[in-house]
Amino acid sequence: MTKVINFQTDPSQYRHWRVEYDGPVANLIMDVDEDQGLFEGYQLKLNSYDLGVDIELADIVQRMRFEHPEVKVVVMQSGKDRVFCAGANIRMLGGAAHSHKVNFCKFTNETRNTYEAAEKDSGQKYIAAVKGACAGGGYELALACNHIMLTDDSTSSVALPEVPLLAVLPGTGGLTRVTDKRKVRRDLADVFCSTEEGVKGKRALDWRLVDEVVPNSKFDATVQERAREFAAAMPKPDATGVALGPLDKTVGEDGSVTYSLIEVAVDRDARKATVTISGPDADAPQDMAAFTAQGDQAYLLRLARELDDAILHLRLNEMELGLLVFRTQGDPELFQAHEALLLANRDHWLANEVLQYWKRLMKRIDVTSRSMSALVEHGSCFTGILAEILWAVDRTYMMEDEFEGDNRPLATVTLTDANFGPLPMGNDLTRLETRFYGTPDAAGQMEDHKNTSLDAEAADKLGLVTMILDDIDWEDEIRIFEEERASFSPDAMTGMEANLRFAGPETMETRIFGRLTAWQNWIFNRPNAVGPDGALQRYGTGLRGEYDMERV
């Protein structure tokens, strides 16, 4: 699996999904083309999915928000008879490297979280209309919807058969949503998760696994009726979407990637990628009408799309780069002007969508399994939204005083309203609240410093950066840090960062990326699941996995 994975797609390229728009209701139909897997070696039978299927879904969910703001309810359903979705493709999982499995699950989890949050964030409610078998990752698709309807016939059921059948976990949020969202009683959850054939009809309702069970003869009509009802109850302004065109993106032979606003420089020997973000190249739009007229070329939307793509590209295609270094260059005041327009218009649907997108994007950075640092150099624009990067990464270094031969404006950091609410982490705290978890007063006092250019000394005093360095120390200190980081075991880094980055409260989201993912990754290393006689390899051979019965 060494081909370059491309996260960009559009409706003209979809092979596995289609959407029928019908005013405020969109029917989202999963109809996987079994011969169009992302890699060789498996067929996507029974609406099973691989990363390629999920990239399309993520694209649909994104376009639903930006291109179809008129949609209030999305009905996820199957285009096939007798099966809703059979889950992640087992042969794909059986053949995939550990790192691909883990990254695949992370991306699918992010997509599930994204449409699950669409009701609250964007006024788009997802209904799962389940007809036929809905198993494993298929039920996890449904679990992330806001409302689950199940037809009441002899072949339709919901199931999480991973444990009995495959010796792995329902790891795309399944176990966590069963306990924390559906709040299924734990002994019933135990029965459910160890029953291959799943649960049907009234029992599925009684156990809280679905929200409605509907006789088969009335199912389709009831689903559409429910969709209209929900749509009627969702207040949403009329709006016309903006089209998301293709990204301006060039991948170089050395692995570098160039976008209109971002340069990703890859240094394979040093196992490092440097992501340099450019500040705005033009004045901020006058108002949201002007912003909307710019559409996908509006600076903050374009930048978000490019940065999102860059992060995904590095995650899936550059596995040996252990360190991501973030830089910015640009005019901090001009950046703040662009941002201020959105922050002042949070009740405008497009301003809201762009800010929500930055929220999701920053969370994607939070859970990226690479060591990350930020360099606050002279000439940089770590302001507001971009300043969040300073506290998403593991360490931040800032230039202090003038550097010889460097006539860029001195490095500053600027806090804005963006840092005090609109971009919470998965733990529901802001990055500043998480950072100052031990000194809540300090977090509160940060607001007094809003909208001020903080120089190195001030940023250091406030605890906003890890270390400030002058011309004499800058290069050496950073080189030592980067070399040291590149020498550590990547696994230990992953484990350490997964623990240190999320202080304090846990939410369903952090539990999925923390507890559930970590156990799944553990199992993904165990011979009982992935060994030559393990369940994943033996799947479909008629033989059960052969297990080492020692309990750990």
Binding to its own copies (CB under 8 A): which residues in 315-374? 319-322, 369-370
CB 507, min distance to its own copies, A:
9
Work out whether 186 is an interface residue with its own copies (CB under 8 A). yes
What secondary structure, in 3-state letters, does 508-546 show?
Answer: HHHHHHHHHHHHHHHHCCCHHHHCCCCHHHHCCCCCCCC
Give the distance between the most distant pair of CA atoms in the chain: 78
Cα separation, 137 vs 173, in Å, equals: 9
Q: Which is nearer to its own copies, 296 or 533 (CB)?
A: 533
CB 170, min distance to its own copies, A:
8
CB 432, min distance to its own copies, A:
11
For the chain, count helices (H), then strands (E).
23, 22
Per-residue x/- track, 231-270, its own copies (CB under 8 A): ----------------------------------------
Scanning 327-381, the segments in alpha helix (DSSP H) are 332-344, 349-366
Q: Which of residues 471-500 bind its own copies (CB under 8 A)?
A: 484-485, 487-500
β-strand pairing of 413-414 with 382-383: parallel
Q: Which is nearer to its own copies, 114 or 396 (CB)?
A: 396
Q: Which is nearer to its own copies, 163 or 300 (CB)?
A: 163
User: Cα–Cα–Cα angle for 32, 35, 36, nearest 5°?
Assistant: 70
Burial string for 439-474 (b: 16+ CB within 10 Å, else e) reads eeeebeebeeeeeebbbbeebbebebbbbbbeeeeb
Work out whether 419 is an interface residue with its own copies (CB under 8 A). no
Cα separation, 411 vs 457, in Å, equals: 10
- From candidates 212, 394, 400, 509, binder to its own copies by CB under 8 A: 394
- From candidates 85, 189, 354, 462, binder to its own copies by CB under 8 A: 189
Q: Which of residues 163-182 bind its own copies (CB under 8 A)?
A: 163-164, 166-169, 175-176, 178-180, 182
- From candidates 412, 514, 537, 539, binder to its own copies by CB under 8 A: 514
SS3 368: coil
The encoded tokens of residue 182 equal 């559906």
Work out whether 1 is an interface residue with its own copies (CB under 8 A). no
CB 508, min distance to its own copies, A:
10
Name the one range near its own copies by CB under 8 A: 52-60, 111-119, 161-169, 453-461. 161-169
Per-residue x/- track, 75-114, its own copies (CB under 8 A): -----------------------xx--xx-----------
Are 378 and 398 within 8 A, CB to CB?
Answer: no
User: How many residues in the shown chain lie near its own copies by CB under 8 A?
Assistant: 92
432, amino acid identity? L
Radius of gyration of the chain (CA): 24
- From candidates 44, 292, 529, 539, binder to its own copies by CB under 8 A: 529
Are 383 and 336 within 8 A, CB to CB?
Answer: yes
- From candidates 155, 194, 216, 217, binder to its own copies by CB under 8 A: 194
β-strand pairing of 467-469 with 413-414: unpaired
Q: Which is nearer to its own copies, 206 or 333 (CB)?
A: 206
Q: Which of residues 424-463 bind its own copies (CB under 8 A)?
A: 434-439, 463
Find the helix or strand (DSSP H, E) in which 376 lies: strand 371-376
Q: Which is nearer to its own copies, 189 or 288 (CB)?
A: 189
Q: Which is nearer to its own copies, 75 or 486 (CB)?
A: 486
- From candidates 184, 247, 304, 381, binder to its own copies by CB under 8 A: 184
